[in-house]
Structure 1
Amino acid sequence: MMKYDAANVGEIEVGSCKIVSIEGRSIGIYYDGENYFAIRNVCPHEQAELCKGKITGTTLTSKPHEYIYGMDGEILVCPWHGWEFNIKTGESLVDPNRYKVKVYHVSVENNRIMLHI
């Protein structure tokens, strides 16, 4: 596994994304106010630039006619067809065993955001 210098701490605002290119891979880096997350910028459905979609939450499992909103800031919605992925795990909300996007380990060293690929 290689480590790559991707961005400066403070460069990515809370709830936003920076798209970087490392070793030919387009990767989105997200900051939730405490931790950084990195996910491949390719939707498995039709190869759209996934990280150009919005970061949101979703409706959680609940009783009929009951709507509970949760996971705010953890769900990445593909801008083309609305497929939803958890930015922490890369798993699809619809079928996590079948559709998944690659996620990468992120660390902070000397005020730099490092991606481990």
Structure 2
Amino acid sequence: MSPVEKTHSQTRVVLFPYDQLKPGERKLIKVDQLEIAIMNVDENLYAFRNECPHQGIPMIFGSITGTMLTSNPQEYEYGLNNEIITCPLHGWEFELKTGKSLFSPNQVTLLTYDVRREERDIVLYLKRKPENISIIDFQCIPNCK
């Protein structure tokens, strides 16, 4: 198990060396009974609950995309490239940074976690000290890039 230490309000968990999660890769972390997806997207780390708030589908299979932005009639503008994760079952879109849904940002969110690169390690911050942590290497199916 990884080193765990309690800080003022959070528990700091060193997961693994940074070079074990290259850009485009994903890992699944099981913290007690909770699954957390960890992703490296263009050298940016994201961590979120591996469960779509709609029907509980594993979000680790979701595509990383952008989306159409609000624009004037008959204008089409694509943006937020590599900042959106899409639920693989029903296509619900969430911001990777905040977990907010694009269709109802104040009501539906994907729970996110603080994950950082600290020197050579990837570190996850949790609200409570976990009893058990396991790391599952994840092989992405072709459509979840």
TM-score by length of 2: 0.74
**Residue aligning to 2:135:** none
For residue 102 of structure 1, the aligned residue among 111, 114, 138 is 111
Relative contact order (C-alpha < 8 Å, sep 6+): which is higher?
Answer: 2
Is residue 8 from structure 1 mapped to residue 17 from structure 2 by the alignment? yes
CA RMSD of aligned residues (A): 1.4
Q: Deviations over 1:19-55 (max 9, x none)?
A: 2112322111122333311111110100000121111
Q: 1:110 to 1:24 in 2, by over 3 A?
A: farther
Structure 1: runs of 5 or more not aligned? none
* Aligned-partner SS, 1:10: helix
| CA distance in structure 1 between the aligned counterparts of 2:59 and 2:93, rounded to whole angstroms | 9
1:54 aligns with 2:63: yes
Q: Which residue of 2 aligns with 1:76?
A: 85
Q: How many residues align?
A: 117
Matched, 1:22 2:22: no
- Aligned with 1:97: secondary structure? coil
Percent of paired sites with the same residue:
39
Moved more, 2-11 or 46-55: 2-11
Stretches of structure 2 that go unaligned for 5 or more consecutive residues are: 1-9, 127-145
Which shifted more, 6-15 or 55-64? Answer: 6-15
What TM-score do the two structures reach when normalised by structure 1?
0.91
Structure 2 equivalent of residue 91 of structure 1: 100
